[in-house]
Structure 1
Amino acid sequence: MNNSAISLYELNNLIKGVLTDSLPEMVWIRAEMSDVRVNQNGHCYLEFIEKDRKGKTLVAKARGMIWANTFHLLRAYFENSTKQTFSSGLKVLVQVSVEFHELYGFSLTVHDIDPSYTLGDQALNRATILRQLEEDGVLNLNKELELPVPTNRVAIISSPTAAGYEDFLDQLNRNAFGFVFYTKLFPAIMQGDRSEESIIYALERIYEYQNCFDAVVIIRGGGATSDLSSFDSYLLAASCAQFPLPIITGIGHERDETVLDIVAHTRAKTPTAVAEFLIDNLSDTATELSEISHDIVTLVSQRLQDEAVLLSVFETKNTFILKGWYKEQESILSSAKSVLKKGMLRIQKENQQAFTLLEDVLKKRSKQLVKDGLDEFASIEDTLKKGIQQQYKNESIKLDTLEKHLHLSSPENILKKGYTLTMKDGKVIKRSTILNQGDEIITVFTDGEIESIVK
């Protein structure tokens, strides 16, 4: 047994002593704030980070905290001086004391802040990217897309092993309405230096099958705010802003908004919130379809009822006419029988053969009259039926004509015929006099768009 060995606690206590003896009580440091959060007691917990010169790779990171009474004063002082919210992404100059606890390890306690050292690399980079996207005229392009009806064919960009991805699928597939969603995962790296390239590659694969999907969902579980730098990328933001399908983000940070969140069609706080958005959207669609179906049934039922009443009136009228005709024929037949009877008594003995002939003639005449009446009634009934059928046919033709007219007048159909749509700064150009030399314009075809400069 080595008698010179010491315990872990003793080692940490030695480290604590060395730091206390070798460092001044207070030190001013430059660092970027990340993962800033305030608990219910008012204490602020955060991370201090430093990146390499390219601004991509972390080279240093330390836990930090500001006690509630100090944080209340420092935040008010900082925000009043800089007109910016005390939040992640800001590079700050703070005065800290170095703490080392035997159990909790290394941390920095903030005592003062210099407001003149304001905007950090992340925030400055984000502002620059947003300004460039706006100048390019693409900042709000994805937001202007309409969600298809229904939106239930979803392309997903996520890490296949992420808990957020599993939560999203579970929430989607176990919805209370029993809606069916068709999902396809396009795996991507969602953290680190390779995430930007990986997500763009996933978008390119989805683009090849864009007709198979209604929307794209980009989801990621929780984690430190410092891991979100890849979502503040110009290339990724520009790719999403100009993507032909609506993009919905849920990258798991309620308090942080990335450039990707800003250019996306819809931003949700978490992957499960994205699932709830899709479920609610489909629920609204189902409600609207149900109302339309009910209106159609009501209109058809009312129309059938009106036609039934009309037909009943015609039938009643013709029945009345037919009954009167039958009554008249019965009266004629009765009179004929009476005359026949008297004649029979009178001439029976004189000319039996002549009487028999007369009786046959009367019977044939009566049958012919009855047949003619029935034929006339049948003709009237057939005319009524044909008239109603023709009226239904005429109304159907009118509806079909209106539907075809609407289809032919739709923008999608007009583009398919070879026409194009010219836009400048997100607005449609209707007259050439609006354009000037050097203006950047976008020409929209049925299968995509191109950018041009007016010469």
Structure 2
Amino acid sequence: LDLQCFDSYEIGKAIALFPLPVISGIGHQRDVTVTDEVSHSRAKTPTAVADMLISRVRDFEDRVDSLAHALTEGARTLTRDMKDGLSVLSRRVQIAAGNKLLNNFHLLNACSKGLRYAFKFMQNEHQKLRGRESNISHLDPLNVLKRGYSITYRSGKAVKSAAEVKIHDSLRTILHKGELLSRVEAGQSEKSVRGNRDKKRDGMANLKLYE
């Protein structure tokens, strides 16, 4: 008679609709009530229910502790591996940077030697160029005229030989300062000029100058 309340429809419905699991422990081993049937779990006595809960809580705590230990060890292992990887990477970076700096130093040294050689080469070429400029300057017609030479033209062409002109030809002679216009009155052959040179005479053609 004292177990009839646990066979109540209302109690059974309330246990079935309860959002959390319900454990029954009425205390009667032989009799099974509606409450026992609709409960999530059942035990023989309330004390057994308490032992069940304590055991499950301990199992849960042990599982949590195990997971926490595994998580801690995993984090330590990952941290150690990452630290080792960073150390290896750092050494590689240092070695690569050192090699790069050494290669750049050798390249810079080679470029410096090349620049010094190029500068010396340019100095030598500059000296050669100045020497050539000096030679060209000596061969400049204006400088030649400064030394007392002259250039005579006939019909716009420079006269190189007395045989190129004839009597009464008009000539134009360029001096260092100014020019002369002349007409050929007489001349000497190249052979006669050579003979006169041997005799240290003036072998120039007799020219009549125009004012």
TM-score by length of 2: 0.43
- Whichever structure has more strand as a proportion of its residues is 1
Larger-Rg structure:
2
TM-score by length of 1: 0.21
- Greater relative contact order structure (CA < 8 Å, 6+ sep): 1
- Whichever structure has more helix as a proportion of its residues is 2
